[in-house]
């Protein structure tokens, strides 16, 4: 979830656009600055990395990569259907 969530925030931030974050007013509805979005994306990337490592995803165990990708795909589709 963190990896998929980082993508739209990072893209909107580096393009200079405001986008929704949990820090907006009201949270998740209002818009945050591009800088806040880049910082939120970077936090999401770091969290995704630590969860990836903690989950012991390995190229030697193909099913762990498959589960990781399926989770990424499901969350991405849910985000695309959102508001």
Q: Model's pTM, two decimal places?
A: 0.79
How far is it, in rounded angstroms, from Cα 78 to Cα 31?
20
pLDDT tier, 75 (very low <50, low <70, confident <90, very high otherwise): confident
Taking residues 40-57, what's their average pLDDT? 91
How far is it, in rounded angstroms, from Cα 81 to Cα 61?
31
Taking residues 78-83, what's their average pLDDT? 77
What HEC string does 14-68 produce?
Answer: HCCCCEECCCCCCCCCCEECHHHHHHHHHHHHHHHHHHHHHCCCCCCCHHHHHHH
pLDDT at 83 (0 to 100): 58
Taking residues 18-35, what's their average pLDDT? 89
């Amino acid at each position: 979830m963190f990896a998929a969530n980082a993508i739209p925030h990072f893209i909107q931030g580096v393009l200079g656009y405001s986008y929704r974050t949990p820090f907006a007013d009201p949270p998740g509805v209002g818009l945050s600055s591009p800088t806040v979005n880049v910082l939120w994306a970077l936090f999401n990337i770091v969290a995704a990395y630590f969860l990836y490592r903690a989950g012991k995803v390995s190229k030697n165990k193909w099913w762990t990569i498959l589960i990781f990708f399926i989770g990424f795909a499901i969350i991405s589709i849910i985000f695309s259907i959102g508001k």
